[in-house]
Structure formats: C-alpha cells, structure tokens
Amino acid sequence: MTKVRAWLNAARLRTLPLSVSGILVGAGLAASQGVSNTVILLLALVTTVGLQITSNFANDYGDGIKGTDNDDRVGPKRALQSGILTAKQLKRGIYSSIIINFLLIVVLVVTSFGIKHIVYPAIFLVLGVFAIWAAIKYTVGKSAYGYNGLGDVFVFIFFGLVSVLGSLFLFLKTIPINSILPAISIGLLSVGVLNLNNMRDVKSDSSVGKNTLVVKIGLRNAKIYHYFLLIISFLCLFLFLFTTKGLSLRYVCLIGFVPVFIHMNKVRVTSNEVELDPELKKLALSTFCTALLFFITYFYFL
C-alpha cells in the first residue's frame, strides 16, 4: 500500500459526511434568514473535515497503543492495527493536522468577524482550541473521555450544538432560539452513530477496559437508548419545521428519516452485534442526507 493510501485509510473518509452535517444545517438556517456566504461555508466545511481527520488519526493512535484495536474487534482494520502506519508516523500526522486545523480556524474566524471586534474572534478561537483538544482526547491519554462513557456527551456538543449553532453564528452573528431544535436533532443522530459503533464493539471494548456507555449499561439498554436518540431527533426536527413559516417543501428533509426508521427495526431484531456493522454507514449517510436536503431546501427554494 502506498503512503497516500495509508493516510487515506487513517483519515477514514467514510466518516467525513457525518462531520459536515451540522455545518450544512447551520448554513441552511442562516439562508432561511436571508443570509449566505459561500466563502464562510466552504471554510467551515474544510475546517470541520480537518477536525474530523485529526480525531480519526488520534482515535487510531489512541486505540492502537492501548490495544483496543485487536483481532477481536469488528469492522475494518485501523492503520496502526494493520501496520500500514507506525505509532510514530501517526503521532506526526496528529501534530501536523493540529497545526493545519488551527490555521484554518484562524482564517475562518477572521473571514467571518474581521479583526476590529475582538470578543467574537476570541471566543471562537478558544472554542476552536477546545474542539482540537476534544478531537485528541477521545482516545488519547490516561484520561481519555471515550474510555469513561463520556463520548456521547462530547459528540452531542460538537457534532450538534457547536457545529449547527456555531456555524449559524458565523453567518448571522446571532442565534435564533428555535435553531436549538435542528441542532439537537443532528446532535442526537450523531450520538446514534457513536452508540451503534459502541454496540458493535461492546465485547472487544469490554475486554480491554474501554468503558463506553454501552459497556456500562449493557446491550439491551443501549438499544432502548438508541431508539430514544433517533425518535427524539425526528421529533425535534419535525417540531422546528412545523413551527416555521414557509412552503411545505421544507418537510422534504424528513425523507432522510425513512431509512433511519428502517434501521431502527434492524437494530431491534439483531441479536448478533457483528451484524450491526453495515448499519453504521446507513445511519451516517441518512444523517448526511437529512442535513443536505435541509440545506438545499432553505438555501435554494425558501
């Protein structure tokens, strides 16, 4: 395998659509208020992708050196696990991506706010540094929060609230109160993807001391939790659409939930966690589809 393919493997390209879902929803919300900026949108998308790649590098490194990624783990082999990259190479990749991410965050913040008013740029720079920290600390270090059942909380915050409301603020410089509903919706869908991943890996995680929420509450309760996440996500988005004035076309984004509900039934009838692996891609792409339809509807038609 070439070095380029090795790094693409470590970057886990299939995770990237989910990472940009919140940005698309935030941009759609801004468009519904009559505000759009292509440069800010592109910078926000690139920055988010960069943060996700950093997280993937760190996750590969952290789980690899802890022995979590072993032959018992279900799913595709990771870069360090399969030997296509060494721990030293991955560490260099993490440092390089951190520098790139920080530069992207600075450019994004300056483009959105300028340099005259220091308060907003300062807040977003601090938020950006915290996002980089969260991307690294999911699996890296003795106090990695992903090993203590806190991954769900951080995913909800960063993939939902920060991604949607943060990107919305970059456009509007304010946050309408009802925007919290689609932010919650995308956050819960993203947590659903993580929960599904943790259900799939419950046996291998438990054996190496990775105490995800699924390990803590058990597979049966994790399924109930999964249904709760997805149903509440649908209700939040529906409530936002229902209470927002506009053409009935705005409901088109709910089409993305059709495969989500089919997925819920698959989870219900599945007793072997290995069979949950294909569902990860389905739920992640359904989330992206919902966000993309939301963006297209508000950006081009309303």
Considering only residues 7 and 234, tell me which one the structure prediction assigns the higher pLDDT: 234
- Mean pLDDT across 233-244: 96
Q: Which residue type sits at 34?
A: G
Domain boundaries defined on the chain: 15-301
Model's pTM, two decimal places? 0.94
The whole-number pLDDT of residue 298 equals 92
Rounded alpha-carbon distances, angstroms, from residue 26 to 170, 203, 255: 9, 37, 19
d(CA 218, CA 205): 12
Q: How confident is the model at residue 183 (pLDDT cuts 50, 70, 90)?
A: very high
d(CA 228, CA 136): 28
d(CA 43, CA 50): 10
Model confidence pLDDT, tens digit, residues 92-119: 999 999 999 999 999 999 999 998 778 8
Rounded alpha-carbon distances, angstroms, from residue 40 to 19, 35, 109, 171, 183: 17, 11, 9, 8, 19
- Mean pLDDT across 253-271: 96
Output DSSP code: residue 299.
I
Residue 80 has pLDDT above 80, yes or no: no
The whole-number pLDDT of residue 60 equals 85
> What rounded mean pLDDT belongs to the chain?
91
